[in-house]
Amino acid sequence: MPDGTGPVPGPDGAPRCPWALSAPEYVAYHDEEWGRPVHGDDALYERLSLEAFQSGLSWITILRRREGFRAAFAGFEIAKVARFTDADRERLLADTGIIRNRAKIDATLANARVLAEWAPGELDALVWSHAPGPDARPAPRTLGDVPAVTPESTALAKALKKRGLRFVGPTTAYALMQACGLVDDHLAGCVARRRP
């Protein structure tokens, strides 16, 4: 899809970000979830884990396996995943309902163990402390106006890595920021863009 593409009419005629129109799962994710504020350590751990699994793949691959991921990783409850054993790891590596990437599975397990040591609300506070101000940049008009990395995502990635988390580079951190509503990258004119 060309970077100069602005909002495109969806199945109901409403203008949407063009990336959201290639599959029904994308439309629902775009309209109901992407860019809306997410709080809570477990919820943010899930999004961070899924963004890491998405690295190098299309997001639709993750969306279509999301329930499989949730089943495999105990609903992404940090305390439960932190107690996973070597047998659980082997189970995950054999689970066709998820992406069976050893490095990503190991990072997801290691991250849960690190986060289990944090105080309740600490991940939420750390992530949201990196949210730029609402007027930090104008609403993107085309896909070409949406960055892959920002100074805030670079700082968030550094903060997460410094605290022991893995598979959290600046691009993954920015995808997390977009998905969890720290930034609103719905294009200007998109039906899902937040109203001031």
Q: Is 25 a catalytic residue?
A: no
List 26, 45, 59, 174, catalytic entry: 59
List 26, 29, 34, 45, catalytic entry: 29
Output the DSSP codes for 64-100. HHHHHHHHHTGGG-HHHHHT--HHHHHHHHH-TTS--
Q: Is 152 a catalytic residue?
A: no
- What phi, psi does 74 have (nearest 5°)? 50, 45
List 34, 51, 152, 174, catalytic entry: 51
Q: Is 29 a catalytic residue?
A: yes
What are the residue numbers of the active site? 29, 51, 59
